[in-house]
Structure 1
Amino acid sequence: MRVVVGLGNPGGQYAQTRHNMGWLVVDEVARRCGAAWRKEKDAEVTEVRLGPAPGQKVLLVKPLTFMNASGKAVAPLVSFYKIQGTELLVVQDDLDSPFGLLKFRMGGRHGGQNGVRDIIRLLGHDAFPRLKVGISRPPPGWEVSDWVMSRWRPEEAQTLAELMRLGADAVEVWAASGLAEAQLKFNGTDLRPPPPPPTPEATPSPKPVSPEGEERQ
């Protein structure tokens, strides 16, 4: 069995906020599989099979402990199911990646993501892969705490739907084929619109020349 944890906060008021990107991705995986969530200790969980038949058995997890205490939900499940570090994937929002970018990373520090921080603390190691989904740094004048709890803007809706779809695809590839294949296929995925082409510089008009052949000033 493998375990995929989508980080987020419980409650309808948080459902469409940037900090719940992990929940959005695992919800999309569960929706595709027609899976129903059930409560188990401090999390909602559901079992699915991903990849070619018969498929890899995967436990999807949404912690109900709020972001800063995610480890309280994850650590007991990892222990109960005897999950090794490489069999655990954490799907997280990532401030340091632009909105529209996703990438896999194996291990490493939490990078300021408090859910990952708490999972590392309670597992006692950081040797598990993450799927990092970009939400961008806050615009000028925004505090980080306000930005991650803010709702998606209407103009982001189309990109968000595509990002959720690709995130779910990435989870499926990781579960069926492993981290290296998932990194090869999805690292560098960038849904940001391309920048507009540079405006060609106007060619300066030649200066008029007097009948005597001298330029007029």
Structure 2
Amino acid sequence: MGTTAWLLVGLGNPGAKYAQTRHNVGFWWIDAFAEEQETDFKPAAKFFGDFARVNWYGHNVLLLKPTIFMNHSGQAVLALLNYYQLSPERLLIIHDDLDLPPGSAKLKRSGGHGGHNGLRDIINRLGRRDFLRLRLGIGHPGSSQGVVNYVLNRPSAADQQAIEAAIAAGLEVLPEVLADDIEKAMHRLHSQL
């Protein structure tokens, strides 16, 4: 695959029922990138997801949207990493984050799962946590009892607009991410939102 290959995985739940929900903002981001690149996802059973591949400024970029439920995301990530013999150091997971307000986007390398079932499964299956994450803020309902209902529903119009701005900001720093200039990407991203 070469040293410049990257795997970008947007997290979400499959099916029309979940498409517009807060928990699927990882899918929204990766769909926006694929649309920019004028590429389409194709079903790939061996990766448990929809897969696309682009050459972007000399980088092989593999895109994956798992088509299994969020709490099994690690199965899809591990299948693709193993197939292409990629290191998790070349993995970017894009996911929703309850701890950030809508409109916020943060890059983070390593860390825990913060209660996110997709991240929990990825960490468990990889046996490591030192991969890169793009955290897209969706806000918090205010109580832990309301979290499931909150993430599985649509954002308000104002929150939707804020999330879309965060998605655009995340896409803008992707050149630095793929060039392994994570510090520069973080600085740019964290200072503009």
TM-score, normalised via structure 1 length: 0.81
**Structure 2 equivalent of residue 25 of structure 1:** 29
Change in 2 beyond 3 A, CA 1:188/1:148: farther
Distance 1:76 1:86 in 2: 16
- The residue aligned with 2:99 is 96
Q: CA RMSD in A?
A: 1.7
Q: Deviations over 1:26-76 (max 9, x none)?
A: 0000000000101112111101123xx4x3111011011110110111111
- Contact (CA 8 Å) 1:67, 1:115: kept in 2 or not? yes
Spell out, residue by residue over 1:4-39, the C-alpha distance to the aligned partner (whole angstroms, 9 max, x if none).
000001111111110001000000000000001011
Q: Does structure 1 residue 70 correspond to structure 2 residue 73?
A: yes
User: Following the alignment from structure 2 to structure 1, what is the Cα–Cα distance between the partners of residues 144 and 15?
Assistant: 27
For 2:28, give the aligned amino acid. L
Larger-gyration structure (1/2) = 1
Question: Residues 133 and 189 (structure 1 numbering): CA distance in 2 closer, same or farther, change over 3 Å?
Answer: farther
Richer in helix (by share): 2
Cα distance in 2 between the residues matched to 1:158 and 1:93: 15
Contact kept? 1:102, 1:188, Cα under 8 Å: no
The alignment covers a number of residue pairs equal to: 187
| Worse-superposed segment, 122-131 or 134-143 | 134-143
2:34/2:40 contact within 8 Å kept:
yes
Distance 1:171 1:114 in 2: 25
1:47 aligns to 2:53 (yes or no): yes
Secondary structure, in 3 states, of the residue corresponding to 2:179? helix
Q: Which residue in the other structure is 2:139 paired with?
A: 136
Partner of 1:10: 14
Q: Distance in 2 between matches of 1:7 and 1:188?
A: 25
Q: CA deviation at 1:171?
A: 3.1
Q: Distance in 2 between matches of 1:177 and 1:185?
A: 14
Amino acid at match of 2:151: V
Residues 81-116 of structure 1: CA distance to partner in whole angstroms, max 9, x if unpaired?
Answer: 111121000011111111111111111111111101
SS in 1 for 2:17: helix
Superposed displacement of residue 177, structure 1: 4.3
Aligned residue among 170, 175, 181 for 2:173: 170
- 2:104, 2:163 within 8 Å by CA — same for their partners in 1? no
Distance 1:99 1:142 in 2: 20
Kept in 2: contact 1:101–1:188 (CA 8 A): no
Query: How much identity, in percent, do the aligned residues show?
Result: 36
Q: 1:118 aligns with which of 114, 117, 121?
A: 121
Distance 2:49 2:175 in 1: 21
The alignment partner of 2:159 has SS state of helix
- Would the aligned equivalents of 1:29 and 1:168 in 2 still touch at CA under 8 Å? yes
Structure-to-structure mapping, 1:79-90, within 5 angstroms: 79-90=82-93
| Deviation at residue 178 of structure 1 after TM alignment | 3.3
Structure 2: runs of 5+ lacking an equivalent: none
